[in-house]
């Protein structure tokens, strides 16, 4: 194939031949088949639309249709292990061919095509025989049938009165109106009136009406993606387009919509505008690419098959592959090759172009290079196969098949620009090398010492496929022959249906369908696992609307910022970011807090994880220097630098904690009857909070049937780390655990080291005050703000303890906060702790209903509440998406900060 004899021009662009070493591990010989379609007696196509057209008798059928028909029949026989026949033209009979080797599954077959132009015809013919098939690409994603209705819904979300989208949507399988129904409905739709309510009034069935009502509600909420989910899950869209490829296209389209939504603030108008721009990209737009299905025939281009292999490979359209490429480049007026660039002109329209030597040279070179590339492609196509190679196509446009006389002939005149020509040249050479006989080589050529070049024949050559089976040796040590199938009679007859019959069969099937007997069905029982974060429990309890935004609307819980308006990096600040400083302080506590490690005999035992060594001074320079170094500020900080201030502040806060209740407890001092035995910092936990549903669902938040299934119970999963857990024991030897969470509010700019009265309000109570009850409004407020988070940590500890034998269990004390600003520990009272647990339970039940109840409406806006709203992600940013009741929302004016 790569022999220099085929080089039209010398050049370094030609591939070189190399020895192939097959790695097949089977005793069965490989098989070469040639599907060479030759029509029989032509008749007028039937006028009855219920009679399928026989392609091989149809005078209008093209050679491509014949090839595809023959290929579909061949693959049907192969998959069903049916015997095949080849024509014996000497005796005018059929010779049966038995297949050996393992059975073939659809996924073992790969069909290689040179262009996708005729792909739909091939797919249709395979599907008509119920052969599962999947093409790697099927044109443009936005032109796929499953995507069109989704686009029309997006259009209606962006422009609720758009009539064009209304027509598309009404005719789609989602609504399923007939032409007349669409016409009647739209005639009564006045200009400028929203479409969806009108379609609800004119819905063809009650089911569609319910779906449209639901879609309308989701659209009103702005739950853009839930609208598409509802359409895909609940409408007939995927029933009308049931193949896996269409499902993948719908998913691919949704992925694009979601990524555009992330960039544009999830606004349907902006998303639609961008999707229209993408559609207008035409061929440059996103392609309809599919992931191969595990049990379907793969169709792909030769180019796309590089690196792949399959037991059965079909190379189709060989005798047209290459024709179009060559004729296209001839039409160009500029030719660019790696070596030379040439143009041609036509100054006088009425006359021929002037002759141009450079153009003639470049055109020849381009042709030679295209051919060399085509040879490489042909080589790739032929070498993808493991066991059975099937090539399709006819080498000439004149052929004869007469079943009565036995005559079968074809003219070997393949177009010199095509892969088919390469195939014929290759077969000639293989036969010549084997000194065998075959119709594609003449007796004179066989006798020649050097094989003459192939010349297209001007006459018909008789064929005898039966003789070719075993007496047409190909190459030295090659195959004994090949199987040539030329007509559907070579295979068992396959009953196919005309398009009208198929439509009728589908309609009958749908009419005969009995509605499922719902009472006999056992509903599927589901367990839902929902992940959550402990840190925002209190925030979403205070304003449930924010949780609804995040999980129903799909808005990320971050302020929305317009592109290119990112704040310029500000000059170094006096203090680090509060979160960074918080992390530094947590680290100081982690490595500097003294661990008493003095378990009391008789108290519930503590495992080895509690017995780690701990420094005994939070305010030690060694501890703080280590933390400064870990956060990238070096071991030493020059005097007067801002880093030195941070270091001194950490040490100061550490000394406050050392003086306070925690410092005294870890020094072994009993307080309120409790002594600390050991401490654990950064205790990791995973907590699964199980919410059991009663018969009617959650008592306050009923959950309807979940797509026909029953939600048995819901697991709310939380994982994280508790800052500090104290293991305590009282005078009676009773053991307890207590969660302590460090808060560093008021520890930076507002903090006053010299006079607490002039500093942050939290500094109002001194560290030496040992009472755990909040002593100021500020203390009470911060404790209340974090009570659900603290309750969750405590519940996690309770769950861990409950799994131990009863004599090893410890009581869980009400959780506490450790305030960095005054070094105090303040804890929830027993009553507040119980109330926090109850509120947590209610809130988690509500969170579960957000995920399970599609009809749950948005919680109301808060009544004017500067504290909660101003720190809310949906209030901040360049676009105010929510605000306290009565306040405006919209894009924020940068000059005055108002929407
Ligand atoms: S802005 Fe206020 S009302 Fe709106 S979600 Fe945020 S906290 Fe709730």
Chain-centroid distance, C-alpha 276: 21
Question: Of all atoms in ligand 1, which is nearest to the CA of residue 543?
Answer: 8
In ligand 1, which atom is closest to the CA atom of 868?
7
Atom of ligand 1 nearest to the CA of 875: 1
Q: How far is the CA of 437 from the centre of ligand 1 (A)?
A: 87
CA distances from 630 to 579, 588, 616, 653, 684 (A): 15, 11, 20, 18, 21
CA 530 – ligand 1 centroid, Å:
23
200 secondary structure, DSSP code: H
pLDDT at 372: 87
Q: Going from the first residue of the chain to its last (899 residues), give the mean pLDDT of each consecutive group of 10, the final group possibly shorter.
A: 80 81 79 91 87 89 92 95 92 88 90 87 90 84 93 95 94 94 91 92 93 91 88 91 88 94 85 94 86 82 88 91 62 76 81 83 84 89 92 87 86 89 91 89 89 86 91 84 93 88 87 72 77 88 90 83 64 83 92 89 87 76 89 86 91 92 92 93 89 57 58 86 93 92 91 86 91 93 94 93 91 95 94 94 88 80 78 88 88 77
Question: What's the gap in Å between 477 CA and the centre of ligand 1?
Answer: 81
Q: Which atom of ligand 1 is nearest to the CA of 872?
A: 6
Match 């402990």 to its residue by tokens: 534
Return the bridge partners of 877, or none.
560
Distance 789 CA to ligand 1 centre (A): 20
Q: Would you say 110 and 311 are in contact if contact means Cβ atoms under 8 Å apart?
A: no
Q: Which residues contact 396 (CB under 8 A, 6 or more apart)?
A: 410, 411, 412, 413, 414, 457
Architecture of domain 139-289: Orthogonal Bundle (1.10)
Best CATH choice for the domain 1-136+296-497 from the list 3.40.50, 3.30.70, 1.10.357, 3.30.390: 3.40.50
Instruction: Kindly give the number of the ligand 1 atom that is closest to the alpha carbon of 545.
Output: 5
**How far is it, in rounded angstroms, from Cα 820 to Cα 578?**
12
pLDDT at residue 832, rounded to an integer: 95
d(CA 833, CA 771): 17
Report pLDDT for 33. Answer: 95
Distance CA 157, CA 137 (A): 30
Both tokens assigned to 574: 């006096």
Give me ligand 1 centre to Cα 426, in Å. 75
Query: Ligand 1, closest atom to CA 549?
Result: 5
Cα separation, 265 vs 281, in Å, equals 23
pLDDT value, residue 566? 55
Which protein residue has the closest C-alpha to ligand 1 atom 5? 546
Number of helices (H), then strands (E), belonging to the chain: the values are 27, 25
The confidence score (pLDDT) of residue 320 equals 84
Instruction: Pick from 548, 550, 862 the residue to mutate for probing ligand 1's pocket: most ligand atoms within 8 Å of its CB.
Output: 862
**Cβ < 6 Å from ligand 1: which residues?**
543, 545-546, 861-862, 868-869, 872, 874-875, 882-884
Q: What is the largest CA-CA distance in the chain?
A: 118
Cβ contact 671:665 at 8 Å: yes
> What integer pLDDT is reported at residue 699 of this predicted model?
46
Q: If residue 525 lies in a helix (H) or strand (E), which one and from where to where? A: strand 525-532
Q: Count of alpha carbons within 13 Å of 653, Cβ hemisphere only? A: 29
From 883, 886, 892, the mutation candidate for ligand 1 (largest count of ligand atoms within 8 A of CB) is: 883
Q: Using an 8 Å Cβ cutoff, are 395 and 408 in contact?
A: no
Pocket mutation for ligand 1, best pick of 539, 549, 858, 861 (most atoms within 8 Å of C-beta): 861
Mutate to test the pocket of ligand 1, among 221, 548, 874 (most ligand atoms within 8 A of CB): 874
**Atom of ligand 1 lying closest to residue 861 CA:** 3
Q: Is 350 helix (H, G, I), strand (E, B) or coil?
A: coil
Pairwise CA distance, residues 222 & 226, whole Å: 9
- CA 346 from chain centre, in angstroms, equals 52
Task: Specify the residue with its C-alpha closest to ligand 1, atom 2.
Answer: 869
Q: What ligand 1 atom has the least distance to the C-alpha of 546?
A: 5
Pocket test for ligand 1, best of 850, 875, 880 (most atoms within 8 A of CB): 875
696 contacts: CB under 8 Å, gap ≥ 6: 702
pLDDT tens across 762-792, in order? 999 999 999 999 999 999 999 999 999 999 9
CB 417 within 8 A of CB 462: no
For residue 438, CA distances in Å to 398, 445, 470, 477 come to: 19, 11, 11, 17
Among the listed residues 850, 828, 890, the one whose alpha carbon sits nearest the alpha carbon of residue 265 = 890
Ligand 1 midpoint to CA 862 (Å): 6
pLDDT of the residue at 514: 80
Q: Give the mutation target among 543, 552, 876, 889 for probing the ligand 1 site: most ligand atoms within 8 A of CB.
A: 543
- The DSSP output letter for 535 is T
Mutate to test the pocket of ligand 1, among 546, 556, 864 (most ligand atoms within 8 A of CB): 546
CB neighbours of 804 closer than 8 A, spacing ≥ 6?
604
Structure tokens, 235? 């409408």
Note whether 389 and 315 are within 8 A (CB): yes
**What's residue 541's pLDDT?**
92
For residues 724 and 593, the answer to whether their CB atoms sit within 8 Å is yes
Ligand 1 centre to CA of 501 (Å) is 59
Residue-wise over 760-791: b if at least 16 C-beta within 10 A, else e? Answer: bbbbbbebebeebebbbebbeebbebbbbbbb
Angle at 675 between CA 674 and CA 677, to 5 degrees: 135
- Distance (Å) from CA 543 to ligand 1 centroid: 6
pLDDT value at residue 574: 84
Topology classification of domain 577-859: Lambda Exonuclease; Chain A (3.90.320)
Residue ranges of domains in the chain = 1-136+296-497, 139-289, 577-859
**Range list of H helices, 660-786:** 661-666, 777-785
Whole-Å CA distances, 271 to 285, 541, 864: 16, 32, 32
Q: Whose CA is nearest to atom 7 of ligand 1?
A: 869
Q: Are 728 and 738 in contact (CB under 8 A)?
A: yes
Tell me how far apart the alpha carbons of residues 192 and 190 are, in angstroms, rounded to a whole number: 6
Residue nearest atom 8 in ligand 1 by C-alpha distance: 543
Q: Which two tokens stand for residue 15?
A: 């591939």
What distance in angstroms lies between residue 557's CA and the mean position of ligand 1's atoms? Answer: 11
pLDDT value of residue 697 = 47
Query: What is the whole-number distance in angstroms between the Cα of residue 263 and the centre of ligand 1?
Result: 22
CA of 881 to the centre of ligand 1 (A): 9
Cα of 556 from ligand 1 centre, angstroms: 14
In this structure, what DSSP letter does residue 549 have?
I
Give me ligand 1 centre to Cα 359, in Å: 72
The 8 Å CB, 24+ separation contacts for 863-869 are 868/539, 868/542, 868/543, 869/543
Q: Tell me, in angstroms, the distance from the centre of ligand 1 to residue 545's CA.
A: 6
Q: Which two tokens stand for residue 158?
A: 């962006």
Q: Can you give the pLDDT at residue 467? A: 92
- Ligand 1 centroid to Cα of residue 242, in Å, is 42
What's the gap in Å between 827 CA and the centre of ligand 1? 28
């Amino acid at each position: 194939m790569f022999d220099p004899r085929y080089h039209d021009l010398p050049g370094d662009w030609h591939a070189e031949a190399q020895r192939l070493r097959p790695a097949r591990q089977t005793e069965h010989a490989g098989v070469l088949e040639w599907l060479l379609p030759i029509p029989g007696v032509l008749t007028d196509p039937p006028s009855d639309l219920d009679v399928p057209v026989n392609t091989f008798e149809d005078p209008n059928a093209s050679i491509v249709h014949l090839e595809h028909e023959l290929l579909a029949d061949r693959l049907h026989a192969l998959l069903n292990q049916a015997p095949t026949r080849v024509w014996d033209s000497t005796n005018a009979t059929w010779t049966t061919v038995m297949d050996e080797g393992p059975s073939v599954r659809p996924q073992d077959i790969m069909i290689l095509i040179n262009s996708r132009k005729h792909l739909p015809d091939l797919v249709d013919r395979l599907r008509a025989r119920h052969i599962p098939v999947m093409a790697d690409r099927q044109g443009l994603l936005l032109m796929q049938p499953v995507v069109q209705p989704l686009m029309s819904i997006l259009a209606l979300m962006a422009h609720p009165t758009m009539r064009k989208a209304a027509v598309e949507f009404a005719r789609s399988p989602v609504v399923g109106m007939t032409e007349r129904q669409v016409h009647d409905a739209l005639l009564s739709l006045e200009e400028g009136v929203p479409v969806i309510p009108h379609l609800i009034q004119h819905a063809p069935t009650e089911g569609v009406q319910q779906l449209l009502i639901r879609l309308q509600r989701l659209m009103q909420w702005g739950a853009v993606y839930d609208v598409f989910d509802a359409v895909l899950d609940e409408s007939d869209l995927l029933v009308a387009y049931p193949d896996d490829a269409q499902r993948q296209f719908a998913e691919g389209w949704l992925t694009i919509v979601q990524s555009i939504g992330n960039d544009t603030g999830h606004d349907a108008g902006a998303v639609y505008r961008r999707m229209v721009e993408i559609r207008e990209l035409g061929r440059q737009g996103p392609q309809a690419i599919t992931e191969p299905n595990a049990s379907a025939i793969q169709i792909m281009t030769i180019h796309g098959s590089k690196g792949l292999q399959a037991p059965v490979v079909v190379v189709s359209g060989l005798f047209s592959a290459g024709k179009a490429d060559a004729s296209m480049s001839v039409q160009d007026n500029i030719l660019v090759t790696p070596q030379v660039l040439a143009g041609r002109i036509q100054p006088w329209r009425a006359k021929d172009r002037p002759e141009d030597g450079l153009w003639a040279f470049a055109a020849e070179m381009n042709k030679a290079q295209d051919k060399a590339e085509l040879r490489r492609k042909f080589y790739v196509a032929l070498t993808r196969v493991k066991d059975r190679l099937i090539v399709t196509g006819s080498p000439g446009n004149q052929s004869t098949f007469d079943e009565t006389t036995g005559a079968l002939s074809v003219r070997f005149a393949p177009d010199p620009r095509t892969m088919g020509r390469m195939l014929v040249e290759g077969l000639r050479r293989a036969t010549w090398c084997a000194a065998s006989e075959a119709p594609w080589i003449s007796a004179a050529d066989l006798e020649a010492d050097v094989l003459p070049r192939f010349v297209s024949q001007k006459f018909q050559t008789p064929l005898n496929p039966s003789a070719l089976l075993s007496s047409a040796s190909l190459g030295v040590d090659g195959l004994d022959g090949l199987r040539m199938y030329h007509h559907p009679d070579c295979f068992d007859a396959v009953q196919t249906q005309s398009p009208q019959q198929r439509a009728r069969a589908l309609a009958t099937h749908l009419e005969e369908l009995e509605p499922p007997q719902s009472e006999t069905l056992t509903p599927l029982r589901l367990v839902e696992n929902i992940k959550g974060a402990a840190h925002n429990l209190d925030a979403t309890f205070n304003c449930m609307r924010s949780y609804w935004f995040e999980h129903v609307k799909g808005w990320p819980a971050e302020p929305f910022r317009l592109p290119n308006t990112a704040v310029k990096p500000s000059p170094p600040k006096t203090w680090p970011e509060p979160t960074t400083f918080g992390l530094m302080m947590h680290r100081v506590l982690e490595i500097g807090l003294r661990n008493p490690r003095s378990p009391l005999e008789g108290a519930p035992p503590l495992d080895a994880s509690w017995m780690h060594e701990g420094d005994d001074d939070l305010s030690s320079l060694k501890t703080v220097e280590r933390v400064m170094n870990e956060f990238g500020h070096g071991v030493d900080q020059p005097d007067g630098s801002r880093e030195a201030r941070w270091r001194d502040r950490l040490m100061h806060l550490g000394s406050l904690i050392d003086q306070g209740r925690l410092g005294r407890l870890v020094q072994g001092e009993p307080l309120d009857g409790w002594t600390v035995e050991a401490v654990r910092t950064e205790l990791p936990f995973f907590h699964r909070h199980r919410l059991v549903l009663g018969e009617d669902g959650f008592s306050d938040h009923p959950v309807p049937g979940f797509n026909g299934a029953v939600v048995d119970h819901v697991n709310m999963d939380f994982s994280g780390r508790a800052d500090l857990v104290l293991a305590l024991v009282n005078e009676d030897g009773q053991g307890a655990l207590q969660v302590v969470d460090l808060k560093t509010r008021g520890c930076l700019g507002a903090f006053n080291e010299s006079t607490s009265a002039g500093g942050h309000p939290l500094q109002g109570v001194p560290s030496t005050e040992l009472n755990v009850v909040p002593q100021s409004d500020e203390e009470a407020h911060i404790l209340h703000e974090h009570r659900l988070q603290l309750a969750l940590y405590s519940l996690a500890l309770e769950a861990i303890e409950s799994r131990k034998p009863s004599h090893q269990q410890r009581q869980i004390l009400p959780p506490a906060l450790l305030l960095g600003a005054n070094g105090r520990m303040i804890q929830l009272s027993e009553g507040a702790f119980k109330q926090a647990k109850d509120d947590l339970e209610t809130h988690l039940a509500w969170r579960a209903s957000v995920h399970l109840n599609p009809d749950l409406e948005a919680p109301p806006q808060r009544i004017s509440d500067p504290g909660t709203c101003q720190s809310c992600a949906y209030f901040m940013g360049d676009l105010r998406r929510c605000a306290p009741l009565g306040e405006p929302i919209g894009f924020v004016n940068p000059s005055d900060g108002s929407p």
